[in-house]
Chain A
Amino acid sequence: MLSKSQAKIFFLGGTVVTFAIFLALSWTSLSHEVPKRTHEENLSQQVIKGKVLWEKNNCMGCHTIMGEGAYYAPELTKVYDRRGEGFINAVLTSKIPWQPRGRQMVAYGFSKEDAANLTAFFKWIGETDLNGFPAKPDLKK
């Protein structure tokens, strides 16, 4: 039967081994995969300013991006492809709440420059290789 000291070794040994594997995998991902998959060369100042605006206004508090966030407003990873620049600009610069089907968005009334920064952020993230996410609706006729 398992003794307490054996159980302790199981805990400590298992933790050290799995954490070492986790660190090695993380290092490989971050140093080799992320720069290529996210096209880091396209990470312009405009995209970075867009990311700052994304966080400053807690867009993730309603929307999702890369599937992460709240589930109250649409997923925006591919919004640049889906809606296009004109539509995105109209929503972001609107001075009255955007409310498709009655569900209201905060009326941010962004300046043209800020809207362009956020759009650049959406364009950049839309080009990231996300292992096929979001999936294409396979039952769509």
Chain B
Amino acid sequence: MKYKSQRVAYWFFALSMLLLSLQIIYGFIMGFAHMGYDGLHSIIPFNTARAVHTNLLVVWLLSGFMGAAYYIIPEESENELVSVKLAYIQLISLAAVGVTAIVGYHFNYWEGRKFLEIPRPLDWLVVLNVLTFLGIILATLYKGKKRTTTALVLTMGLVFAALLYLPGMIWFDNQTMDSFFRWWVVHLWVEGVWELIMGGILAFLLIKITGVDREVIEKWLYVIVGLTFISGILGTGHHYYYIGVGKIWLIVGGIFSALEPLAFLAMALFAVAMYRKGEKKHPNKMALNWTLGTSIVSFVGAGLLGLAHTLPQVNMYTHGTLVTAMHGHLAFWGAYGMIVFSIISYTMPNLTGRKFFDSTTGQLAFWLSNIGMLGMTTAFGVAGVAQVYLERKVGIEFGEVQTEIQVHFLILVLCATMFTSGIALFIYEFIKYGRPTEEALAPSPMKANVISPVI
């Protein structure tokens, strides 16, 4: 680590890992409920488990992105964070708002709008929190010596993500209007501005790990984020097929969302090409695994599996079935879960000074979590496709179909156990690293560059 204030990132990553662990627990509750074992129904009914599971996902990923920004922005702008104290206050308030929301879900304190269940009064605290975060990042960037493309793309993604949260806070009497603007938040986040955040982190990691010239990497970063917005903004239309708006969205949404995989394909080709072009001298093999992994798994999960059911003719039957859960799991894991794991793997040796660059535990964590998640995706896919044919095509009643496909949830839970083992090992490694130390701090940014140009 070159700047003392970068150590703030560690605590955001720690919060991220804690919330991920909780998210997995609630995932198991739902998996068992789908198998017919909902023993916790009276305390944690399915809708509570579901709201907690998806909201924890959003908060642990945001915490990971914030940690990434607190690490990357000082290094890219060559300046300490303007206020470390404020960053810690922001961390505590993020955890407090998240925990309050999640506890509230157990007591019917929520707004039943998928992914946006946080009640509006708490939304204002989220806004305040994010404004504090952006204030620190923007002021650091403004006072910094440099404004690199990587830092700007990452910051742009974070600023847009904050702005796009606002349409979701407006109340509408009409369900169609409500849904229309809910997707401005959810879709334009995950298939828009979050890809900028992912692209920014990916570019930073590739510059550090491969040693390829920054200008080359940042040029392709522009192309990737350009493809993301060109396809993703109008691709929002794939959520508008059947919510009470016109047929024009069937055409626009169909065409542009079919182009969305291009951004992920470009990201995968970009990462692999930069790795091949690079020096292959960087010792941090785990960071390399996760970085190449995220670019490839995101293409499969977000790109290909999204394409599989995005055309209106297919989506007419798959919309609102477990096919969506199939795509959702691998997409979120590949694109956003794994990029957070990549930046953690890269930064931990730099923050703590302990160089566990390549360990059996780390390798096992990578493979178990990825194979487990692929298995879960397959189980969701088989259950989803069976549901589509039995319920939507043949017309068998919903409950009867659910009983028929219960067995696939046994496979899902087994694969989820494998996934969880991988995550547990990753968290074990995280804890083993210990906390950031003074010794990890390079004497001066200039000297650090001389001693270790690639780390």
Query: Which residues of chain A are near B220, meaning CB under 8 Å?
Result: 7
User: Do A137 and B180 touch across chains, with their CB atoms under 8 A apart?
Assistant: no
Chain B residues near A69 (CB-CB < 8 A): 114, 320
Q: How large is the interface on A (under 10, 10 to 19, 20 to 34, 35 or more residues)?
A: 35 or more
Assuming the contacts A4-B222, A135-B316, asked whether A15 and B321 have C-beta atoms less than 8 A apart, the reply is no
Does B123 touch A at the CB level, under 8 Å? no
For chain B, residues 410 to 447, give those with C-beta under 8 angstroms from any C-beta of chain A: none
Which of B112, B225, B226 has the largest number of chain A CB atoms within 10 A?
Answer: B112
Q: Smallest CB–CB gap between B393 and chain A, Å?
A: 5
Q: Assess the B225–A61 pair: CB atoms within 8 A.
A: no
Question: Are the CB atoms of B320 and A8 closer together than 8 Å?
Answer: no
User: Could you tell me the distance in whole angstroms from the C-beta of A99 to the nearest C-beta in chain B?
Assistant: 9
Q: Would you give the 0/1 interface string for A14-58, flagging 1 where the beta carbon is closer than 8 Å to chain B?
A: 110011011001101110011001101001000110010011111
> Given the known A-B contacts A61-B48, A101-B400, A101-B403, are A54 and B112 also in contact in the complex, defined by CB atoms under 8 Å?
yes
Is A67 located at the chain interface by the 8 A CB criterion? yes
Q: Count contacts between A and B, CB distance < 8 Å.
A: 211
A133 near B226 (CB under 8 angstroms)? no
CA distance A67 to B179 in the complex (A): 11
Residues in B with CB closer than 8 Å to A94 are none
* Cα-based distance from A139 to B46 in the complex (angstroms): 32
Of A70-78, A84-92, A110-118, the one touching chain B = A70-78
A138 touches B250 (CB 8 A): no
- For the complex, give the distance between the alpha carbons of A11 and B225 in Å: 6
Q: Which residue of B lies closest to A100 (CB)?
A: B399
* CA–CA, A115 and B368, complex, Å: 48
For B317, what are the chain A residues with a Cβ–Cβ distance below 8 Å?
135
Whether the pair B245, A72 counts as a contact (CB closer than 8 A) is no
- B222–A19 CB distance below 8 A: no
Q: A70 CB to closest chain B CB, in angstroms?
A: 5
Assuming the A-B contacts A4-B215, A43-B173, A55-B112, are A133 and B319 also in contact, with contact meaning beta carbons closer than 8 angstroms in the complex? yes
A64 part of interface (Cβ distance < 8 Å): yes
A116 to chain B, nearest CB (A): 18
19 residue pairs from A and B, CB less than 8 Å apart? A4-B222, A7-B220, A7-B226, A14-B227, A18-B234, A22-B236, A25-B237, A29-B245, A38-B176, A62-B47, A68-B114, A68-B320, A69-B114, A71-B321, A72-B50, A103-B36, A106-B47, A128-B244, A130-B242
Question: Could you tell me which A residues sit within 8 Å of B by CB distance?
Answer: 2-4, 7-8, 10-11, 14-15, 18-19, 21-22, 25-26, 28-30, 33-34, 37-38, 40, 43, 47-48, 51, 54-62, 64-75, 97, 100-104, 106, 125, 128-135, 137-140
Known: A28-B246, A75-B320. 11 other contacts (CB 8 A): A4-B215, A11-B226, A18-B233, A22-B233, A26-B180, A34-B180, A56-B108, A67-B319, A71-B320, A133-B241, A138-B393
Smallest CB-CB A-B distances: 9 pairs:
A61-B47, A137-B395, A67-B320, A58-B112, A133-B242, A11-B226, A140-B395, A7-B222, A67-B319
